[in-house]
Amino acid sequence: MLSFLSTPFDKLAAAYDDGFTRTVLGERLRRAVWRRLDALFAPGARVLELACGTGEDALHLGRRGVRVLATDASPEMVRVAKEKAGQAGLNEVEVRQLAIEELGSLDTLPFDGALSNFGGFNCVADLPAAGRALAARLRPGAVAVLCVMGPVVPWEWVWFRGHGKAFRRLTPGGVEWRGLRVWYPSIRKLRRALAPGFRMRRVAALGALLPPPYTEAWAARHPRLIDRLDRWERRLETLPPLPWLADHYLMELERR
């Protein structure tokens, strides 16, 4: 079992929902993802979730009758997600400890779809290998929905102007974060890395007009502005260049 992802995310697990899921920005960003998941995954479908965190997306799908195998490398994230699924009485949701790099060891029937929300693939060094392993576990025509942190974020340049963080995502070789290496692949790079097994169907912006989550304190003081930005971002989310300038982009891929 891979353990290099466990330490930083274990420490975040207990407070993650309060620090992101239930925040002004976190709720809007997750709701935007759910809108696409609801359109793509029908009740009864079998979906593989990678880097599930505290299980919020799995629970949302499970409540709609979607059967989810939710996986994460962090034992603490898995513990929290299992606890929430048990409390909700959702037999549709199964939670296992599994890193994305360990997909090759997952021996199951092909899934009808896959999901990785809010940066799971940013922690993967070998994207082509992960793409091959994921494709092998999906039926032809299945859709994979990947929410990935992009490299070019004007909001970040303005917010951290004058500080080293402003252009950190453009650092060659990724960025060190709590002992973990994080990469910020462009839409083009991720699409090409996964191209042997997938074709891109759609890409949308998450946090191009809306500010990134680390601006939460400011966003909470300006609810009317945030609502307005959210409405406009949802209307324009696929319009270039917004997906290329967003904190996250939401890429939908079809298994060849």
Question: Quick one: pLDDT at residue 22?
Answer: 96
Cβ neighbourhood burial of 132 (10 Å; 0-12, 13-18, 19+): middle
pLDDT tens-digit series, residues 49-85: 999 999 999 999 999 999 999 999 999 999 999 999 9
pLDDT tens-digit series, residues 26-37: 999 999 999 999
Under the banding of pLDDT at 50, 70 and 90, the label for residue 5 is low
- CA angle, residues 239, 34, 48, in degrees to nearest 5: 110
Question: Quick one: pLDDT at residue 234?
Answer: 98
71, 48 Cβ separation under 8 angstroms: yes
The predicted model scores a pTM of 0.95
Under the banding of pLDDT at 50, 70 and 90, the label for residue 1 is very low
pLDDT tens-digit series, residues 127-162: 999 999 999 999 999 999 999 999 999 999 999 997
pLDDT tens-digit series, residues 216-256: 999 999 999 999 999 999 999 999 999 999 999 999 999 99
The residue extents of the domains of the chain are: 6-255
For the domain 6-255, what is the CATH code? 3.40.50.150
